[in-house]
Amino acid sequence: MAAGKPQLVVLISGSGSNLQAFIDAIGDGRLHAEIALVISNRADAYGLQRAAAAGIATATIAHSDYPSREAFDAELIATIDRHRPDAVILAGFMRILTEGFVNHYLGRLLNIHPSLLPLYPGLHTHQRALDNGDCEAGSTVHFVTAQLDGGPAIVQARVAVGADDADSLAAKVLVEEHRIYPLAAAWLLSGRLAMRGDAALLDGRALAAGGVQLLAGQALPA
């Protein structure tokens, strides 16, 4: 553990591209933090290899080994809390967490969702945007609450929908995810960002419903 650096625990289930965005942001100084542990519920998640390559400790906690969501989440909490993290980052963690887990980390638990919430919570967001004829899509970093994809938004990045299919749109959105997620974590870890009731506050001011709004490729705010 690096002295004085805020500690993160990152939860993944798959490729870990957003985990890599955090590793890169820490490496180039955009995020003053240390990833203490990466946890996956799948032993074959490629993100575990990303973590190992960066010298980060990993753990696999398979949800299938536990008789209930509550039992699985209890083991997650026990493992996470050994590292006393300042924030817990969901980076493609494909499990619905119990209210007990969410409340345990309330205000310190962040997620990124590939839509402009409150539009399209849940899965298949890009295809749903295309089916609806939307001219914009994007991604939202938000605090996690017991409501699925329903916590207060912190920052959204918008991309134009062109002659896209679901895969090409997902790729455009993912570029922006990698930019805005470490930014939101930096705000939280520096004390600039907080959750109060149903609102996200940045520098003491409540953010609008969609959070800070950015366009694709727009310079990130300080």
User: Annotated catalytic residue: which of 113, 126, 142, 178?
Assistant: 113
Q: What are phi and psi of 154, to 5 degrees?
A: -105, -50
Q: CB–CB of 63/75 below 8 Å? A: no
Torsion 22-123-162-160 (CA) sign: negative
Structure tokens at 123: 């899965």
Active site residue 126: no
Q: Which residues are registered as beta bridge partners of 12?
A: 40
Edge-first strand listing for the sheet containing 205-206 = 193-196, 199-202, 205-206
Chain-centroid distance of CA 141 in Å reads 6
Cα gap 124→119, rounded to integer Å: 12
Cα gap 167→205, rounded to integer Å: 37
Cα gap 18→106, rounded to integer Å: 21
Structure tokens at 79: 């493992």
Active site residues: 113
